[in-house]
Amino acid sequence: MNAESDERAKVSESAADTPATGGVTTEAPVAEAALGSRAPEFIKRRRTLHLSWQVGVFLVGLAVVGAGVAMLVLPGPGWVVIFGGMAIWATEFVWAQLVLRWTKRKVTEAAQRALDPRVRRRNIILTATGLVIIAVLAGIYLWKFGFQLPWNIRR
For the stretch 2-58, pLDDT in tens is 444 455 555 445 544 444 544 444 444 455 667 777 777 777 778 888 888 889 999
Whether 95 is in a domain gets the answer yes
For CA atoms 143, 146, 151, 155, the dihedral sign is negative
Round to whole Å and give the CA distance between 62 and 88: 9
Asked if residue 109 and residue 39 are part of one domain, the reply reads: yes
Whether 11 is in a domain gets the answer no
Whether 10 is in a domain gets the answer no
What lies within 8 Å, CB to CB, of 147 at 6+ separation is none
Asked if residue 106 and residue 39 are part of one domain, the reply reads: yes
Round to whole Å and give the CA distance between 103 and 59: 22
The answer to whether residues 103 and 86 touch, using CB atoms and an 8 Å cutoff, is yes
Instruction: Report the number of distinct structural domains present in the chain.
Output: 2
Asked if residue 98 and residue 58 are part of one domain, the reply reads: yes
Asked if residue 74 and residue 131 are part of one domain, the reply reads: no
The answer to whether residues 22 and 75 touch, using CB atoms and an 8 Å cutoff, is no
* pLDDT tens track for 50-85: 888 889 999 999 999 999 999 999 988 988 999 999
Asked if residue 129 and residue 59 are part of one domain, the reply reads: no
Asked if residue 99 and residue 45 are part of one domain, the reply reads: yes
Round to whole Å and give the CA distance between 50 and 58: 12
DSSP calls for 65-134? HHHHHHHHHSSS-HHHHHHHHHHHHHTT-HHHHHHHHHHHHHHHHHHHHHTSHHHHHHHHHHHHHHHHHH
Whether 22 is in a domain gets the answer no
Whether 6 is in a domain gets the answer no
* pLDDT tens track for 110-126: 888 888 888 889 989 99
- Taking 60 as the threshold, does the pLDDT of residue 109 lie above it? yes
Whether 129 is in a domain gets the answer yes
Whether 86 is in a domain gets the answer yes
DSSP state, 61? H
Q: Which domain holds residue 71?
A: 33-115
Asked if residue 98 and residue 51 are part of one domain, the reply reads: yes
Per-residue confidence (pLDDT) for residue 138, from 0 to 100: 93
Per-residue confidence (pLDDT) for residue 23, from 0 to 100: 46
The answer to whether residues 81 and 62 touch, using CB atoms and an 8 Å cutoff, is no
Asked if residue 74 and residue 102 are part of one domain, the reply reads: yes
Helix 117-145 vs helix 94-114: angle between axes, to the nearest 10 degrees?
Answer: 80
